[in-house]
Chains A and B, each alone.
Chain A
Amino acid sequence: ILNVEQSPQSLHVQEGDSTNFTCSFPSSNFYALHWYRWETAKSPEALFVMTLNGDEKKKGRISATLNTKEGYSYLYIKGSQPEDSATYLCAFTYNQGGKLIFGQGTELSVKP
């Protein structure tokens, strides 16, 4: 059974705080790691996809890193804003054209 674990399950921070969450996945047979953001009442939106060990991706204040050898990815948000409040999902695939295996998500709440 392939498991993807995310931590923490939920996080409450103040506006301006920087934060990070973790996604752990099987380190064998890795193909790609996806991060999605899911805001309430909206569709989950793709943030990043990473395929190579050591990959780092950045979009504005959000960045992600990937370590395929040890099976983890970090998502960082610098200077959190209330509009960053969402559930952040990671998903792992072990071959091209394969299914995405999702973690349970990290729910982020940013208070003004």
Chain B
Amino acid sequence: DVKVTQSSRYLVKRTGEKVFLECVQDMDHENMFWYRQDPGLGLRLIYFSYDVKMKEKGDIPEGYSVSREKKERFSLILESASTNQTSMYLCASSSRDEDTDTQYFGPGTRLTVL
């Protein structure tokens, strides 16, 4: 079974703090993704990575950065957290060899920025 884990289920931070969200997958997947989910808006792609050290902007990258130093780990960084970044953050991974591009998700981190 594919397992995608995220470092925290719930996180509360203050405005201006630097926030790290960690994601680890154990299936040797090449592709990893970060989404945020807000009510009525569905999952929106923040950043993704097709390989170690590679990163691509998704649809809403502003205010975020990412790091992929190892294949199994993909970190999302909020350089200076703001209240509008309060959201549910989901990490996902997929295999380059799977032609259907099915993504496997972690359980999510609910971040509250005060």
Q: How many A-B residue pairs have CB under 8 A?
A: 54
Q: Is A89 on the interface with B (CB-CB < 8 A)?
A: yes
Chain B residues near A (Cβ < 8 Å)? 4, 33, 35, 40-45, 48, 58, 90, 96, 99-108
Docked-complex contact B90 and A32, CB < 8 angstroms: no
Docked-complex contact A43 and B4, CB < 8 angstroms: yes
Instruction: Pick from B41, B101, B108: contact of A98, CB below 8 A.
Output: B101
Name the residue on A nearest B107 (C-beta). A43
Docked-complex contact B108 and A43, CB < 8 angstroms: yes
CB-CB under 8 A for A42 and B102, given A99-B58, A103-B42? no
Q: A43, A49, A98: which has the most chain B beta carbons within 10 Å?
A: A43
Docked-complex contact A32 and B100, CB < 8 angstroms: yes
Chain A residues near B (Cβ < 8 Å)? 4, 6, 9, 32, 34, 36, 41-46, 49, 51, 89, 91, 93, 96-100, 102-105
Docked-complex contact A51 and B106, CB < 8 angstroms: no
List B contacts of A4 (CB < 8 A).
42
Docked-complex contact B107 and A34, CB < 8 angstroms: no
Give Cα A41–Cα B107 distance, bound, in whole angstroms. Answer: 7
Docked-complex contact B4 and A89, CB < 8 angstroms: no
Give Cα A99–Cα B106 distance, bound, in whole angstroms. Answer: 17
Give Cα A39–Cα B102 distance, bound, in whole angstroms. Answer: 18
What is the CB-to-nearest-CB distance from B98 to chain A, in angstroms, rounded to a whole number? 9
CB-CB under 8 A for A32 and B101, given A89-B42, A97-B96, A105-B42? yes
Give Cα A4–Cα B45 distance, bound, in whole angstroms. Answer: 14
Name the residue on A nearest B50 (C-beta). A97
